[in-house]
Amino acid sequence: MTQRLSKPALRVGLGLIVVAVIFASAPLWAGRADLRLIGEFMSFLALAVLWNLLAGYAGLMSVGQQAFVGLGGYMLFIGVIFLGLNPLVAIPLAIVAGAVAGAIFAPLLFRLEGAYFAIGTWVAAETIALIFSAIPTLGAGAGMSLPVDAVRAIADSRDGREAVVYWLLVAFGLGTVAFAFALIRSKPGLSLMALRDNALAAGSVGVDIWKARFWTYVAVAGASGGIGAVIFLQKLRISPTSAFSLTDWTVVIIFIVVIGGIGRLEGAIIGTILYFVLRELLIDFGAVYMIVLGIAAILTMLWSRSGIWGGVEKRFGWSLLPTRRTRH
Amino acid sequence: MNLIDAIVQGILLGGLYALFAAGLSLIFGVMRLVNIAHGDFIVLAAYIAMVIIQSTGMNAFASLILVVPLMAALGYVIQRFILNKTLGDDLLPPILVTFGLAVVIQNTLLTVFETNTRRLSAGPIETASVAVGPISLGVLPLLTFAVAVGLILLLEVGFFRSRIGRAFRATSDDPATAQAIGVDTRHIFALAMALSFAVIAVAGVLLAVRSNFDPFSGPARLIYGFEAVIIGGLGSLWGTLAGGIVIGVSQAIGAQISPAFQTLAGHLVFFAVLAIKPRGLFPRMD
């Protein structure tokens, strides 16, 4: 108990509540365009934190997270259009679908090591994308739109709907940060940290590597499914290309975490902020900003593997979300 | 009849996939590195060939005289000055750096050449075919297959018989000891990558005369090559040929069922092999 109520945890908890209140009140003071931008920021933040848990902690280098984002998006549309569900009820369905898909692929993909696992996750994502683009009732390659009546079930006014979607995105963004923080400070989180530092040694002191990785992978898949559902609830249209986009849901996320600082919770936050700043600056240059991000990620890996936050930590000893354990 | 025809075409296509796989398998064998940008370098080689052909009027196959050494030099430089720095106990750096390279290559090609699909012309050979019984075989697919088998044979023999092959194997088995007895492992790794890039150059030109390509054609080539490597069994070059053929035939049969099913069939067979024989069809015996 002392662990859970320790000072840093309490501070972080209070800090998160303050941040949550500020963001949650945004529909009162921000315009529609700003809300959309913050909402998008939250979705990228959530995906970045989740990918960081996989690669930075569990040592699972996935380049196939678009599988779960896209699957979640499609489950929302299937739930609303074919099962007549309220969109808000379809979101848990998307989470379950993501987790189940993760649980099916994990035992197969875990047979591949390191980089081969990475490419394997990519093949898994391609497979799911190809299956969805081959189903005529789901609009095949062209995709489909959410009917207006179904969307009205969330709120009558457009502003009301935008606010609800926004709150969902904030909940996912900050919720993921809070969840990751709590997880890493918990006992299972300790196994993850041990895994990150030395998988072989972790195994020899009794950490069940397979199990730790399996549950991390499944949990991240489920959460990604939920985020995918909300992202496409906002877009109101889905197609295989947008749902299973490697660039949007994986490449950008990887660059965010690598540049921000892999294996550090703060890294995902700093990286997401930096990405949005860069994107606003370079939006007119199209492909150039992907080249810039790619080169920045390569240089980070070559010269400063812990990214921007790793540098800050070393230089100033700062820690926004202290996950290090100290004796009491 | 259609089915037999599809299987034969699939086998020939498998030769090309085996070429994609051979370069990947080679560097994994020597330095446990997986180059995620492998497919994008294949496409880069195709664009380099295109530029050479456009500016010199060379035949597509003749352009290999320039494309192979250029790509090999590029491979040497990339390994020596970038990828060697990423090797070590940490798994993530080599994956993330080659992943970054993939994105940089795709978007650079997009900036320079735009999204138009291209194709290299190889002259009348493209449409030439020979009849074997009731089946008509394209000369180009036959040639591709023969080149693949020839290159794999050459690599296999080189790996086990030549001096440089011995250095490759020694470095692969025990880099620390190899270094201690005077092998410059950084140079050996760079040479292995140069060799892999020479294979990439051939694969790129063969791909480009056979099908359309654009700046984003790379990832699919990486995936087909990867599936061939895993199905064949890690570390076995002949296995990659078998793996390439399995993928080629699966895709050809899938396409017979429905065009949408072509690539999917290959992926499903890949997962089936992973479930039933996770070490591949021809795991290397040590």
Residue A182: which residues within 8 A CB-CB, separation 6 or more?
Answer: A189
Q: Does B59 touch chain A (CB under 8 A)?
A: no
Q: What pLDDT is attached to residue B163?
A: 82
Q: What pLDDT is attached to residue B286?
A: 44
Contact at CB, A61 and B275, closer than 8 angstroms: no
The residue-averaged pLDDT of A265-292 equals 88
User: Which residue ranges make up each domain of chain B?
Assistant: 2-276
Q: How does residue A281 score in pLDDT terms, banded at 50, 70 and 90?
A: confident
- Quick one: what percent of chain B has pLDDT higher than 70? 99
Asked whether residue A286 carries a pLDDT value surpassing 80, the answer given is no
Tell me how close the Cα of A6 comes to any Cα of chain B, in angstroms: 33
Contact at CB, A301 and B97, closer than 8 angstroms: yes
Q: What pLDDT is attached to residue A184?
A: 84
Asked whether residue B285 carries a pLDDT value surpassing 80, the answer given is no
Contacts of A130 in chain B (CB under 8 A): 260, 263-264, 267
Tell me how close the Cα of B65 comes to any Cα of chain A, in angstroms: 30
Q: What pLDDT is attached to residue A45?
A: 97
Task: Please tell me the distance from the alpha carbon of residue A245 to that of residue B201, in angstroms, as a whole number.
Answer: 29
Q: Does A262 touch chain B (CB under 8 A)?
A: yes
pLDDT in tens, B138-177: 899 999 999 999 999 999 888 878 888 888 888 888 888 8
Q: What pLDDT is attached to residue B1?
A: 60
DSSP codes of every residue in B137-199: EEHHHHHHHHHHHHHHHHHHHHHHHSHHHHHHHHHHH-HHHHHHTT--HHHHHHHHHHHHHHH
Q: What pLDDT is attached to residue A1?
A: 42
Q: What pLDDT is attached to residue A317?
A: 75
Q: What pLDDT is attached to residue B16?
A: 94
Q: Does B166 touch chain A (CB under 8 A)?
A: no
Distances in Å between the alpha carbon of A157 and those of A86, A153, B120, B172, B185?
16, 10, 56, 65, 67
Contact at CB, B278 and A111, closer than 8 angstroms: yes
Contacts of A288 in chain B (CB under 8 A): 107, 111
Contact at CB, A115 and B36, closer than 8 angstroms: yes
Q: Does B1 touch chain A (CB under 8 A)?
A: no
Task: Please tell me the distance from the alpha carbon of residue B60 to that of residue B186, in angstroms, as a whole number.
Answer: 34
| A144: enclosing H helix or E strand | strand A144-145
Distances in Å between the alpha carbon of A232 and those of A64, A102, A239, B136?
18, 20, 10, 48
Task: Please tell me the distance from the alpha carbon of residue A242 to that of residue A235, in angstroms, as a whole number.
Answer: 10
Q: What ipTM did this prediction achieve?
A: 0.90
In the stretch 177-216 of chain B, residues with CB closer than 8 A to chain A read: none
Amino acid at B132: V
Architecture of domain B2-276: Orthogonal Bundle (1.10)
- Quick one: what percent of chain A has pLDDT higher than 70? 96
Beta carbons of A213 and A58 less than 8 angstroms apart: yes
At residue B98's C-alpha, the angle toward residues B95 and B101, to 5°, is 150
Tell me how close the Cα of A170 comes to any Cα of chain B, in angstroms: 29
Contact at CB, A123 and B223, closer than 8 angstroms: yes
The residue-averaged pLDDT of B92-114 equals 94
Region of poorest pLDDT, from A75-89, A114-128, B155-169: B155-169
Q: Which two tokens stand for residue A51?
A: 């990918």
DSSP state of A174: H
Q: What pLDDT is attached to residue A273?
A: 95
Give the nearest chain A residue to B38 (CA atoms).
Answer: A119
pLDDT in tens, A189-210: 777 777 777 777 777 777 788 8
Region of poorest pLDDT, from A111-120, A181-190, B40-49: A181-190
Q: Does A40 touch chain B (CB under 8 A)?
A: no
Mutating which of A52, A61, A66, A123 best tests the B interface, going by the most B Cβ atoms within 10 A? A123
Give the A:B interface size as CB pairs under 8 Å.
123
Q: Does A142 touch chain B (CB under 8 A)?
A: no
Residue whose entry in the numeric block shows the structure tokens 């900050």: A174
Burial of residue B275, with CB atoms counted within 10 A of its CB: 0-12 exposed, 13-18 middle, 19 or more buried = exposed
Q: Please tell me whether residue A6 adopts helix, strand or coil conformation.
A: coil
Residue that wins the pLDDT comparison between A265 and A170? A170
User: Which residue ranges make up each domain of chain A?
Assistant: 7-245
Q: How does residue B284 score in pLDDT terms, banded at 50, 70 and 90?
A: low
- In 3D space, the residue among B213, B45, B225, B41 whose CA is nearest the CA of residue B148 turns out to be B225
Q: What pLDDT is attached to residue A2?
A: 44
**pTM to 2 decimals?**
0.92
Region of poorest pLDDT, from A23-37, A97-111, A228-242, B170-184: B170-184
Contact at CB, A290 and B107, closer than 8 angstroms: yes
Mean pLDDT score across all residues of chain A: 89
Q: Please state whether beta strands A237-238 and A144-145 pair in parallel, antiparallel, or not at all (unpaired).
A: antiparallel
Asked whether residue A178 carries a pLDDT value surpassing 50, the answer given is yes
Residue B240: which residues within 8 A CB-CB, separation 6 or more?
Answer: B18, B21, B22, B25, B152, B228, B229, B232
Residue that wins the pLDDT comparison between B238 and A104? A104
The residue-averaged pLDDT of B198-202 equals 96
Q: How does residue A323 score in pLDDT terms, banded at 50, 70 and 90?
A: low
Q: Does B82 touch chain A (CB under 8 A)?
A: yes
Q: Does B87 touch chain A (CB under 8 A)?
A: no
Asked whether residue A325 carries a pLDDT value surpassing 60, the answer given is no
Asked whether residue A92 carries a pLDDT value surpassing 90, the answer given is yes
Q: What pLDDT is attached to residue A5?
A: 53
Mutating which of B20, B31, B96 best tests the A interface, going by the most A Cβ atoms within 10 A? B96
Task: Please tell me the distance from the alpha carbon of residue A313 to that of residue A306, in angstroms, as a whole number.
Answer: 9
Asked whether residue B240 carries a pLDDT value surpassing 60, the answer given is yes
Q: What pLDDT is attached to residue A324?
A: 60
Backbone angles phi, psi at B136, to 5 degrees: -105, 125
Contact at CB, B271 and A127, closer than 8 angstroms: yes
Angle, in degrees to the nearest 10, between helices B237-257 and B262-276? 130
Q: What pLDDT is attached to residue B154?
A: 92
The residue-averaged pLDDT of B54-58 equals 92
Contact at CB, B95 and A291, closer than 8 angstroms: no
Q: Which two tokens stand for residue A205?
A: 């002191």
- In 3D space, the residue among B209, B228, B79, B264 whose CA is nearest the CA of residue B152 turns out to be B228
The residue-averaged pLDDT of B35-49 equals 97
Task: Please tell me the distance from the alpha carbon of residue B44 to that of residue B55, in angstroms, as a whole number.
Answer: 17
